Amino acid sequence: MTVLLTYLLSFTHQMTAEEALILAIPLCIFYSFVCQSAQYSCRALPPERVGFDKLGLMHAGAAAMAASLWVFAAMVLAWILSSSVNALRGLSDRLHAGPELPIIFVTGFLVYLLSTLGYYAQIALEASRAAEARMMQMSILAREAELKALKAQVNPHFLFNSLNSISALTSSDPAKAREMCILLGDFLRRTLGLGEKSAIPLEEEMSLIHAFLAVEKTRYGARLHMEENVAREALAVDVPPLLLQPLVENAIAHGIANLVEGGWIRLDVVCENGSVSIVVENLFDPEAPARRSSGVGLANVRQRLQARYGNRASFAAKGEGDRFRVAITLPAEKEVATQ
Amino acid sequence: MTPEPKNKIRVAIVDDEELARQVLREYLSSHPDVEIIAECANGFEAVKVVTEQKPNLVFLDIQMPKLDGFEVLELIGNECAVIFVTAHDHFAIRAFEVHAVDYLLKPVGAERFEAALKRARERLEGKVRPDAVPPAELAAAARPPAQYLERVPVRDGTRVFIIPVTKLDYAEAQDDYVALASEGKKHLKQQTIASLETALDPSRFLRVHRSYIVNLERVVKVEPYGKDSHVAVLATGAQLPVSRAGYARLRAFLDR
């Protein structure tokens, strides 16, 4: 802007480039402050509430005032300079002689309007950023709420059936009944504690599964066989809590529970190339009547993986012959998120 | 069959969990007029036991291997009173629609159990059959809407056959029974053809005649037969009569 003004002032050859520069630098510094005042009028006059014609008129008025102020400042500065510095004697007169003052006025007017537009652009940008941030916030909140709802709560039927087993044991084997109460209590405590966490080490999930299986073992007895093959290095990897337990529960409810002689469940976890692959496989009766809840638990797990990892995780479930297999891969993240 | 009220009540307990059977056994042990004649761990066994040993009352779990409680009831419900015992409360309405005596929720309380047993006694002593409708009809009526039969349980003596509807070629009405043709065999089931029709998926099965429902996938061709009737030829070579109305329905389906 200084360069522009210097060029414009020396354009008519009334003054030298040096003189123009000396005049232009303080003038521009002064005017940059003046232009900042446009900011306040911009914030006070949002275009969507004031009409565009009225808005134009008001800003044009403000620009004219600012430009007049600037012309006055130029006159004062030139007068001071010409009366105090010998080399610049007559500067004030020369400023008045040519078209310099109108040039200053027009330049000031346009610059003021430009800065007004600039501020409006800035305000719009801020507003859109804020809206974007709000949208993000909302979608995060919505997802969190969804996750909370999805976070497999303890299946009530598991509880009812376990309580029924305990009630049977109270007379036939009180010690066993007490043991089962403790196992059930242990499982419930672990489950309830997980509500607030977004991820836990696989090791913790495994011990949760063990607590769950200990209870189910009492119910199903010899019908339930569990085989585990979990790579040691995978134990520290973070997984969403209650991700695997529902898969084991599913394998029991839709697999073992439908088999007269019972069957096995196999859990394999391997760690390779920065990702963890988990396979839960179980025997099932392909001709068993479909149970009402079938598929809901699996859909939950799939959604939770999708929400947390997007396309960095994969989920596949299918039955082949008398085997049902759920395969999951997810990135091996180790830092415990403390949320 | 003339059961005397003074007789012992013969009870069978059907549940795949030993501990669940144990609770009922314990509750029943305080009733000297009740005799537990059998315990079964799955639906097949239950049907066999009911057929062979004719209990008066069956305690029946719903979610079991092989046959679920409703399918068992469908096959044996004419012969004994049934009390469902389950952890799921959402089956209750269906249970009463198929005329179960009662519906006990796990964990089973002693008081609630006694009430159920009392109801069973009343029904057995009164010798009131809830009505003469075959249980398969009730089961068909109690099926949730928009959910069609995936498989049909059929009993032959003590044996149970499960016919997946994909393997059902056609059904033929025979008095109070339907004959279900599947894999070269015919199985008789006590059910009317009308109630079977409502239970089957209408996009896969069509009533082509007063007495016939056909699996549309099995139909190879339809030929004119006589003056204004037709006959459907199935992949198995079977020929089924097609009535005029049935032919119209078949045409409508094929034109779709």
Residue pointed to by tokens 């395969």:
A327
**Inter-chain touch A257–B16, beta carbons under 8 Å:** yes
Average pLDDT, chain B: 86
**Inter-chain touch B20–A289, beta carbons under 8 Å:** no
- A236-247 mean pLDDT: 89
Which residues contact residue A244 at a Cβ distance below 8 angstroms, ignoring those fewer than 6 apart? A205, A206, A209, A267, A278, A280
What is the reported pLDDT for A153? 65
- B130-153 mean pLDDT: 69
What is the reported pLDDT for B127? 56
**Inter-chain touch B67–A289, beta carbons under 8 Å:** yes
Nearest CA in chain A to B24: A168
- B93-98 mean pLDDT: 82
- B218-242 mean pLDDT: 88
Residue pointed to by tokens 């599947």:
B182
Angle between helices A296-309 and A100-150 (to 10 degrees): 150
Nearest to B150 among A161, A260, A290 (CB): A290
Res A174 pLDDT > 90 = yes
CB burial of A203-232 (b: ≥16 within 10 Å; e: otherwise) equals: ebbbebbbbbbbbbbbbbeebbebeeebee
- A2-13 mean pLDDT: 69
Closest CA relative to residue B23, chosen from B107, B89, B124: B107
**Inter-chain touch B151–A287, beta carbons under 8 Å:** yes
- A129-143 mean pLDDT: 83
Min Cα–Cα distance to chain B from A259, Å: 5
User: A71-80, A175-184, A264-273, B20-29: which range is least confident on average?
Assistant: A71-80
What is the reported pLDDT for B151? 87
Nearest to B65 among A165, A168, A259 (CB): A259
The pLDDT-based confidence of B37 (bands split at 50, 70, 90) is very high
What is the reported pLDDT for A338? 44
B102 DSSP assignment: E
What is the reported pLDDT for A145? 66
Nearest to A260 among B65, B71, B105 (CB): B65
- A1-6 mean pLDDT: 70
Res B222 pLDDT > 70 = yes
Token digits of residue A244: 């695997």
A153 DSSP assignment: P
B207, B197 Cβ separation under 8 angstroms = yes
**Inter-chain touch A157–B87, beta carbons under 8 Å:** yes
User: A145-159, A169-183, B160-174, B198-212: which range is least confident on average?
Assistant: A145-159
Which residues contact residue A59 at a Cβ distance below 8 angstroms, ignoring those fewer than 6 apart? A38, A41, A45, A113, A116
Closest CA relative to residue A211, chosen from A231, A191, A196: A191
Percent of chain A's residues with pLDDT above 70: 90
Instruction: Please state, in angstroms and rounded to a whole number, the distance separating the CA atoms of residues A321 and A331.
Output: 30
Residues of chain A positioned with their CB less than 8 A from the CB of B163:
none
Nearest to A168 among B20, B41, B67 (CB): B20
Nearest CA in chain A to B25: A168
A222 touches chain B (CB under 8 A): no
- A69-73 mean pLDDT: 86
Instruction: Please state, in angstroms and rounded to a whole number, the distance separating the CA atoms of residues A265 and A252.
Output: 8
The pLDDT-based confidence of A176 (bands split at 50, 70, 90) is very high
Report pLDDT digits (tens) over B126-137: 755 555 566 676
What is the reported pLDDT for B145? 56
CA B209 from chain centre, in angstroms, equals 24
B242, B214 Cβ separation under 8 angstroms = no
User: A102-111, A242-251, A258-267, B131-140: which range is least confident on average?
Assistant: B131-140
What is the reported pLDDT for A25? 82
Closest CA relative to residue B23, chosen from A256, A177, A181, A179: A177
Instruction: Please state, in angstroms and rounded to a whole number, the distance separating the CA atoms of residues A6 and B127.
Output: 116
The pLDDT-based confidence of A179 (bands split at 50, 70, 90) is very high
Min Cα–Cα distance to chain A from B251, Å: 33
A167 touches chain B (CB under 8 A): yes
Average pLDDT, chain A: 83
Nearest CA in chain B to A157: B87
User: A101-110, B179-188, B242-251: which range is least confident on average?
Assistant: A101-110
Q: How many CA atoms lie within 13 A of A93 on its CB side?
A: 4
Beta strands across the sheet bearing B34-40: B34-40, B9-14, B57-60, B81-86, B102-105
Res B18 pLDDT > 80 = yes
**Inter-chain touch A291–B63, beta carbons under 8 Å:** yes
What is the reported pLDDT for A229? 93
Q: Which helix (H) or strand (E) holds A327?
A: strand A323-331
CB contacts < 8 A (A, B): 69
**Inter-chain touch A260–B22, beta carbons under 8 Å:** no
Res B83 pLDDT > 60 = yes
For domain A151-331, give the fold.
Heat Shock Protein 90 (3.30.565)
Report pLDDT digits (tens) over B176-190: 889 999 998 999 998
Beta strands per DSSP E along chain B: 9-14, 34-40, 57-60, 81-86, 102-105, 151-156, 159-164, 168-174, 177-182, 185-190, 205-209, 212-215, 219-225, 229-234, 239-242
**Inter-chain touch B107–A289, beta carbons under 8 Å:** no
Substitution target in B19, B67, B84, B143 with the highest count of A β-carbons within 10 Å is B19
What is the reported pLDDT for A334? 80
| Pairing outcome for strands A314-320 and A275-283 | unpaired
Res B105 pLDDT > 70 = yes
**Inter-chain touch A172–B22, beta carbons under 8 Å:** yes
The pLDDT-based confidence of A339 (bands split at 50, 70, 90) is very low
Chain A residues 284-303 within an 8 A CB cutoff of chain B? 285, 287-292
The alpha-helical segments, DSSP class H, found in A48-99 are: 52-84, 91-97
In chain A, where the domains are located: 2-147, 151-331
What are the DSSP calls for A267-307, one per residue? Answer: EEEEEETTEEEEEEEEE--TTSPPPTTTTHHHHHHHHHHHH
What is the reported pLDDT for A22? 79
What is the reported pLDDT for A290? 62
In chain B the domains, ranked by start, together with CATH numbers, are: 9-137 (3.40.50.2300), 148-255 (2.40.50.1020)
What is the reported pLDDT for B19? 92
